[in-house]
Amino acid sequence: MLLGLVVTGCLAERHLVVETTPTGALVELDWKPIGTTPLDIVIDHSGRLRLLVSLDGYEPVLREVDFPSTWRNTFPIDIFTELLNPLPKDEVQIVRLTLSPRTDAEPIDLAPILERAELLRRAGPSGPRELREQRP
């Protein structure tokens, strides 16, 4: 009987399902590549995970996914809930994302930034007088 309890225990799993439109996006979990969408992965521990989804031609999406610790998986209660529970229940989190096409950024006029940088470089350690006198 004890063997039967041990064999049937610990069957509940945490699943993270990632679905994107369009499919085929690279999925990284805590900065480690784990596959492409659609994806179903088993999560071994509770806590907060960083999910990064990227696809060429689309904006990358960064999300945090939380698998909170519950009373069922807190020591020493987890010993009883996993070993004695004949009907374990999987915890499934589904993340559905619609990726946005990447847009090219407007070109930035660097002339004012470079002028200010040159002014600061020439001013030396005391700083530029023009900037201090113009401040209200």
CA 82 to chain centre: 29
- Those residues with Cβ within 8 angstroms of residue 88's Cβ, 6 or more apart along the chain or in another chain: 9, 10, 11, 12, 82
Give me the tens of pLDDT residue by residue for the chain, a chain 136 residues long: 444 444 444 556 889 999 999 999 999 999 999 999 999 999 887 789 999 999 999 999 999 998 877 766 667 776 666 677 666 677 888 999 999 998 877 788 889 999 988 888 888 777 766 555 555 5
Helix (H, G, I), strand (E, B) or coil at 104: coil
What contacts 24+ positions apart, CB below 8 Å, involve 69-72? 70/46
At which residue do the structure tokens 């993340």 appear? 95
107 DSSP 8-state letter: P
The residue with tokens 């369009």 is 22
Model-level pTM? 0.61
Where do the domains of the chain lie, and which CATH numbers do they carry?
A: 2-98 (2.60.40)
